[in-house]
Structure 1
Amino acid sequence: MNSSIELLTLTDGGQPASRVAAEIAAFLHGARRSLDLALYDVRLETEAGALVLASLLAAHQRGLRVRLMYNVDHPGPIAVPPPPETRPEAIEALPVETRGIAGIPDLMHHKFCVRDGVDVWTGSMNWTEDSWTRQENVVVRVLGADRLAFAFTLAFEELWQRGAVEGTGTVEPRPVELADGITVRPWFTPGHGDALSHRVAKHIGRARKRVRIASPVLTAGPILGTLVEVVNERRCTVVGVVDDTQVDDVFHQWSRNGVSAWKIPLLHTIVERGAFSGKPSTPWAPDGIQDFMHAKVVVCDDVCFVGSFNFSRSGERNAENVVEIHDAVTADALARYVEDVKERYPPATPPDVRADADELAVVDAVRQTTETAGP
């Protein structure tokens, strides 16, 4: 990989918790001045978690400023995303600065760390044992990028000061050129949620070589609409993987919700005509295994989007982050990762649910138009 960008990719059963914990601990140990952590789900009571906890405490003992914020006040069991395992009392018992962020009605869903104001750790991985061992996840570390780190710090400060998700994510997604010439762009929601979905959709629509997608669900309207055009017109190869269990839940929710029922035939078309696999994950339960397909990546030719953001309508409203990376080497690595995960699971199988007949007639007319249109 490039010197400024490092990737860590996880698969279900592909690595021990100790190895992932060691990666986190090494990143934390490298801090010399400060650590700002925004973690949706953090639980460090296991043996591997103890290594991470020891690194946090060691940083505090070295005199570093350590701040940790986490999601609280979750409204109850939902399918996407799964509720956090975090125990606020355990976090608040730590000797570091802590801040619970009210996740009603929208979640503080970040999983990032800013080190010394120059290095950024982000991606889809929560800091829990199941996240490290039973889920597909992607971590991206961008090193020596003070302007990118500054954007993440601003997003952190918004949440830290407000104590709630509403009104945050307003940091402008300005491009940042790294030392080795790679351009990245940080995106934050909910402030730029709609714009982010449209940005991803634009790059999907421009792709002529490949589109690779890993996301638990796909529900953002701009992305669904553009993907339907791409797969119908066969503009490029489309390969993806979703969480089949969570997608089934989404289809059933849509079938009961007239506002979103128009999306049903779009996602059916994408899954059936694109090469999409679905992980048959274990349905969420309070004490159950959390083995979800949890990676959140889109690759469009040589541009990729990676972060905490499910490519969904609810993701637009959460506090999320995405790094847009313009680099062929990174895009190749993430495309291979998506292809590998896709091969691990059977074809996605959307349930047999149907939208209202009037909704279907409108979407069918749109589909026929895209099928006859040129590229």
Structure 2
Amino acid sequence: MIRHLTLPVLSAFGLIMLLILLFFVFQGSGTSPQAENTLTVSRHGAWEIYFSNPGGPESKTLRGGPDSYLVEAMDSAQFSIDMAMYHLDLWSVREVLIRAHRRGIVVQVVTDDAYKEELEIRSLQEAGINVMDDARPGIMHHKFIVIDRKEVWTGSMNMTVNGAYRNDDHLIRVLSDKVAESYTHEFDEMFLEDRFGALSLADTPYPIVDLEGMEVEIYFSPDDGVLNRIIENLRTAERSVEILAYAFTTDTIGETLLDLHQSGVEVRGVVEASQAQAAGSETPRLRLAGVDIRLDGNPENMHHKVIIIDGVTVILGSYNFTRSAEEKNDENVLIFHDPALAAQFLIEFDRIYGSATP
């Protein structure tokens, strides 16, 4: 005898209860906003790299950008947060700093005097957080945070809505007591000693640090001769150089790239379109000489300051390739000799290069 399986007919009440049950099941299994994030995140040993995602879903909600990971780290701070930030207008960062201060964490901030009246800065001061500005013609252009003197967050990204959600920018987290000590020393020089620009001293505690077998160089401008180290690294190139430049007016970098191009090294670059014709820009000269330098396609800013050499070395930080960055501004640069990090920046380069104008 063949048996037929029949399903019971649901009453209206039963159907409603089933729908409610399904709703909670799917709510419980859903992903968090951070898990849905499409911005690029990569972790490798002692570093984590975050790239902004202009035009992505985060840029519409202004949530879930690189700042969300920094906020999580600052919420876990045990005793101190030191922040040197050129421009701050992200409420997420403002709020986490105030939360940290209220739970007893020592929070100290240095900013540029051009932005000392920003709502976020005034809110920090009103909450009782000590904020200092450089009060000088030059620029305090740093974008770094030291947490508990054991980790550093730095890169090209200002803690602004544009930086986290509209510009092409990067934020790197470095987990190292020695790197943190070097950045803390730079912070204290500004915050405690009121030394900015030409008054800065070339006394970085650990200019070269071993990170799990990978070497990173740490430099601060204008005291450490950053340009010389950039040129020295560029001259080691044998196969390829990629450059992402917001501002690019340094003659010696332009000349070195031209020499490399003429010697057979593949040189590619993307510059911020709005800066390409600025006074002293190296872009017209290089393009005229046949170097593959393109103009970015982001309607906002291509704000990176990055050089990748032979797929191994990455130069990154707050330092634009300009005379002001070398001689006047307070800047920081990290030079990683690490193929894994270089690979992540090559992916970012290719993304930007693909939408740039030849």
Same fold, TM-score > 0.5, yes or no: yes
Tell me how far 1:24 sits from its aligned partner.
Answer: 2.1
CA distance in 2, matches of 1:313, 1:271: 21
d(CA) in 2 for partners of 1:26 and 1:187?
Answer: 27
SS of residue paired to 2:181 = helix
One-letter amino acid matched to 2:98? L
Does the residue aligned with 2:302 lie in a helix, a strand or coil? coil
Question: Which position in structure 2 is the counterpart of 1:156?
Answer: 187
Structure with the bigger RCO (C-alpha within 8 Å, sep 6+) is 1
Paired residue secondary structure (2:64): helix
Asked if 1:10 corresponds to 2:52, the answer is yes
Provide the residue aligned with 1:99 in structure 2: 132
Which residue number corresponds to residue 286 of structure 1? none
Go from structure 1 to structure 2 and tell me whether the alpha carbon gap of 1:151 and 1:183 turns closer, same or farther (over 3 Å shift).
same
TM-aligned CA deviation for residue 281 of structure 1: 6.4
Distance across 1 between alignment mates of 2:356 and 2:201: 35
> Equivalent residue for 1:219?
249
Aligned equivalents of 2:201, 2:302: Cα separation in 1: 25
Q: After superposition, where does 1:243-322 map in structure 2 within 5 Å?
A: 243-248=272-277, 250=278, 253-254=279-280, 267-272=283-288, 273-279=290-296, 291-301=300-310, 302-316=312-326, 317-322=328-333
Question: What's the CA shift for 1:53?
Answer: 2.5
Cα shift readout 1:165-215 (whole Å, capped 9, x = no counterpart): 33126233621012x2111111101112xx211211222221112211111
Distance 2:315 2:227 in 1: 11
Moved over 4 A (4+): none
Q: Distance in 2 between matches of 1:103 and 1:327?
A: 37
The separation in 2 between residues aligned to 1:218 and 1:107, in whole angstroms, is 17
Q: Which runs of 5+ in 2 are unaligned?
A: 1-42
Amino acid at match of 1:276: I
Paired amino acid for 1:149: A
| Alignment correspondent of 2:18 | none
How many angstroms apart in 2 are the aligned matches of 1:300 and 1:165? 29
Which deviates the most, 31-40 or 332-341? Answer: 332-341
| Aligned-pair CA distance for 1:85 | 8.5
Distance in 2 of aligned mates of 1:190 and 1:315? 7
Q: Does 1:238 align with 2:280?
A: no
Partner SS for 1:135 = coil
Given that residues 98 and 124 in structure 2 are in contact (C-alpha distance below 8 angstroms), is that contact kept between their aligned partners in structure 1?
no
How many residues matched? Answer: 306
Do the aligned partners of 2:167 and 2:298 also contact (CA within 8 Å) in 1?
no
Amino acid at match of 1:42: L
Conserved? CA contact 1:28–1:35, under 8 Å:
yes
RMSD over equivalenced CA pairs, Å: 2.1
CA distance in 2 between counterparts of 1:182 and 1:204 reads 19
Deviations 1:263-282 (A, max 9, x none): x6x64342342222212666
Cα distance in 1 for partners of 2:142, 2:338 equals 24
Tell me, in whole angstroms, the C-alpha distance in 1 between the residues paired with 2:253 and 2:203. 22
Picking from 87, 94, 102, the partner of 1:53 is 94
Q: Aligned residue for 2:152?
A: 120
Q: Is the 8 A contact 1:110 1:319 kept in 2?
A: yes
Take 1:2 and 1:247, find their aligned partners in 2: how far apart are those partners? Answer: 34
Which whole-Å CA distance do the structure 2 matches of 1:89 and 1:28 have between them? 20
In 2 relative to 1, CA 90–216 (structure 1 residues): closer, same or farther, beyond 3 Å?
same
Aligned 8 A contact 2:269 2:292 in 1: yes
Q: Which residue of 1 aligns with 2:6?
A: none
Residues 102, 267 of structure 1: alpha-carbon distance in 2 compared, 3 angstrom cutoff: same
Which of 205, 228, 234 does residue 204 from structure 1 map onto? 234
1:32, distance to aligned residue in structure 2 (A) = 0.7
SS in 1 for 2:89: coil
For residues 220-276 of structure 1, the C-alpha deviation after alignment (integer angstroms, 9 at most, x for no partner) is 232112111011222x2212111121121x2xx34xxxxxxxxx6x64342342222
Residue 135 of structure 1 corresponds to which residue in structure 2? Answer: 167
TM-score where L is the length of structure 2: 0.80
C-alpha spacing 1:85/1:124, structure 2 compared with 1 (3 Å): farther
Whether the aligned pair in 1 keeps the contact of 2:116 and 2:133 (CA below 8 Å) is: no
Deviations 1:51-84 (A, max 9, x none): 3323212211221111011000x4xxxxxxxx89
- Structure (1 or 2) with the larger CA radius of gyration: 2
2:84 aligns with 38
Equivalent residue for 2:35? none
| Amino acid of the structure 1 residue aligned with 2:86 | Y
- What is the percentage of aligned positions where both structures have the same residue? 26
Structure 1: 5+ residue stretches without partners: 75-82, 255-263, 283-290, 348-375
Report the secondary structure of 1:32's partner residue.
coil
State the distance in 2 between where 1:202 and 1:239 align. Answer: 19
Tell me whether 1:345 sits opposite 2:356 in the alignment: yes
